[in-house]
Amino acid sequence: MQISLIITTYNRPDALLTVLKSVEGQKKLPDEVIIADDGSNEATRILIEDFSSKSKLKIIHSFQEDIGFRVARSRNRAISKANSEYIVMIDGDMILHKNFIYDHLRNSQIGYFVQGSRVLLTDKRTKDILESFKPISHFLESGLTNRKNAIHSDFLSKIFSVKKNLLRGIKTCNVAFFKVDCISVNGFNNEFEGWGKEDSEFFVRMMNKGINRKTLRFNAIQYHLWHTEANRGLLKKNEQLLNKTINENLDWCNIGINQFYEH
């Protein structure tokens, strides 16, 4: 099965470079890497072009104009360009364990999306990694604030991974799904602008459609580079959109990925 890895980014080329290096070190390489760029400046474009010219990875730069935080639309644009049947989605500040793609591939299952977790890195460890990239090799290393999530174990994963349709803990920084399932609910809702809840709303529609959640533990590990919190000025509006989807049991949004397939 072919895999498209989608990486969201906005004006953080140093982090994106580190993430791309971790993608190159995967046991199982993705068939393509699509960078969902929400309007970054020239520094990101130059980085992507330079990295692409030297890398064995197939990289597609999916760019949209910077007129505010529009990550839902940016993800839809990137997904519409994907040539693979399976989508793995991360953020541009997530360093990947060497088995990340391999773990997602072998945990894929028809009728499910797969939600992973993340390991949080301290500010100091983040600075060290950005200055001199070195993969994290052990869960006891310094600078990991929730190191339990850094334990890679197939045995523990079989025991603690669960299939349960909960809203809590849904994040697109570590998630995978079949492209056809995404299209069946019209992708992310482009009405979401500003930080927050666009990911929850998308997967609520997935679950309402009958596409269930599998929460993966101790596999598909990623390490989250530290950063300051995003502006939450539009969160209340986004929460209203989420609540509408929940209360009305919606499995479709009117303004979604279809905008990128219409002519």
CB atoms within 10 A of CB 117: 21
Dihedral sign (CA 47, 49, 55, 58): positive
- The pLDDT of residue 252: 98
Percent of the chain with pLDDT over 70: 99
Helix (H, G, I), strand (E, B) or coil at 145: coil
Domain that holds residue 88: 3-260
Give yes or no for residue 96 having a pLDDT over 60.
Answer: yes
- The pLDDT of residue 177: 98
Give yes or no for residue 263 having a pLDDT over 50.
Answer: no
Task: List own/partner pairs for 125-134 with CB under 8 A and 24 or more apart.
Answer: 125/226, 126/225, 126/226, 126/227, 129/18, 129/95, 129/225, 130/14, 130/15, 130/18, 130/225, 133/18, 133/21
User: Count of domains in the chain?
Assistant: 1
- The pLDDT of residue 262: 60
- Band the pLDDT of 23: cuts 50, 70, 90: very high
Q: Express each pLDDT in 114-133 by its tens digit.
A: 999 999 999 999 999 999 88
- The pLDDT of residue 261: 85
CATH number at residue 230: 3.90.550.10
Q: Express each pLDDT in 132-182 by its tens digit.
A: 887 787 888 889 999 999 999 999 999 999 999 999 999 999 999 999 999
Q: Express each pLDDT in 209-250 by its tens digit.
A: 999 999 999 999 999 999 887 777 888 999 999 999 999 999
Q: Judging by beta carbons within 10 Å of its beta carbon (0-12, 13-18, 19+), is residue 147 exposed, middle or buried?
A: middle
3-state DSSP percent of the chain in helix, strand and coil, to 5: 35, 20, 45
What is the token pair recorded at 228?
């300051």
The whole-angstrom separation of Cα 223 and Cα 227 is: 12
